[in-house]
Amino acid sequence: MARILAFLLIGLGLLAGGVQAHAQDARPAGYIMAYELKGADAEKGTVVVRKGAELQPKLLMPIYDGDSVFIRDETSKITLSLAREGNLVVSGKLMRKDVAGEMASGDDSFTIIEQIVAILAGRGDDDSFSVLVSKGTETGEAIKVPLVVRGNNFILGSGEPIHLTWSGGEGPFSVQVANGKPVTHEARELTINVKAMTGTKFAVKITDARKRAVRIVFVVKKALPKVPEKVKARDTNGEIAAVWLAGRDNGAWRFEAVRQLRALPHSETIGGLIAALEKGWLPKER
């Protein structure tokens, strides 16, 4: 299963984006497999330096020849998978790593991709999805909903309920769904019965005790985008199609992809993909 998913990820280019563009012929030297940022300012102080620019590390972020991975907080760490050196942890003992080389062409490149798939499937040697931001108090942070995208989030009206979670802000929270009455929530989570919604569009507004708010817009669709035949050919259970779906329309189908995955029989791969999507990982087509 891992090899099938690996081939699909390579074929469709479903690797996490969010970094500066490189020449098309440039091959990564490796990928960020996990990161754990523990210090109060760790999120700002842990960077990938590329051509003088500081980039925030991301899960599955490609690392190129000439990049430097640098942490300023000794309790933080970044786990890399490098073509030339294998797995390497940048931490208190090694606070800076200058990256050199690139992935080989041909079958040699599958080794790193399959390691990425192992992380997604929860089978890595390190803590899978160890993607933690700073331990600063939640009360000082804005409300963040990793699973949503800005703008419209697409879902099926006939699908399963939406489970919405967020971080940051200061409780208690006032949550208003569509035109309903605001309801107080102590916990940072909410379940929405989509079948009870009317119309083709509704919003969820979350407001914390300090009146900071976030508004999430859902658009109800009648059908999913058509899954390409090349994806179906590699799909035996539905998880690969869900990964493809999650990257559609700049991530607008990510909620629905999670719902599709939750409806499948539980497995390590499915559990890993759900966890990745819920923490903000987004596959993108090149």
Q: Over 80: is that where the pLDDT of 281 sits?
A: no
Sorted by where each starts, the structural domains of the chain and their CATH numbers stand as 2-132 (no CATH), 138-221 (2.60.40.10)
How many CA within 13 A on the CB side of residue 266? 3
Q: Over 70: is that where the pLDDT of 137 sits?
A: no
- Written as six digits, the tokens of 88 are 């390497």
Report the percentage of the chain scoring pLDDT > 70: 73
Contacts of 152 (CB under 8 A, 6+ apart): 201, 217, 218, 219, 252
Single-letter code of the amino acid located at 75: T
pLDDT digits (tens, 9 = 90+) for 75-92: 788 888 888 888 888 988
Most confident of 6-15, 46-55, 57-66, 262-271: 46-55
Place of tokens 């009317």: 198
How many CA within 13 A on the CB side of residue 126? 21
Comparing C-alpha atoms, which of 126, 111, 127 is closest to residue 2? 111
Report the percentage of the chain scoring pLDDT > 90: 19
Q: How far apart are CA 68 and CA 131, in angstroms?
A: 19
Q: How far apart are CA 142 and CA 10, in angstroms?
A: 35
Written as one string, the DSSP assignment of 19-81 is S----TTPPPSEEEEEEE--STTHHHHEEEEETTEEE---TT-EE-TT-EEEES-TT-EEEEE
Q: pLDDT confidence of 43, banded at 50, 70, 90?
A: low
pLDDT digits (tens, 9 = 90+) for 164-180: 889 888 889 999 999 88
- Written as six digits, the tokens of 29 are 């030297």
What average pLDDT is seen over the chain?
A: 75
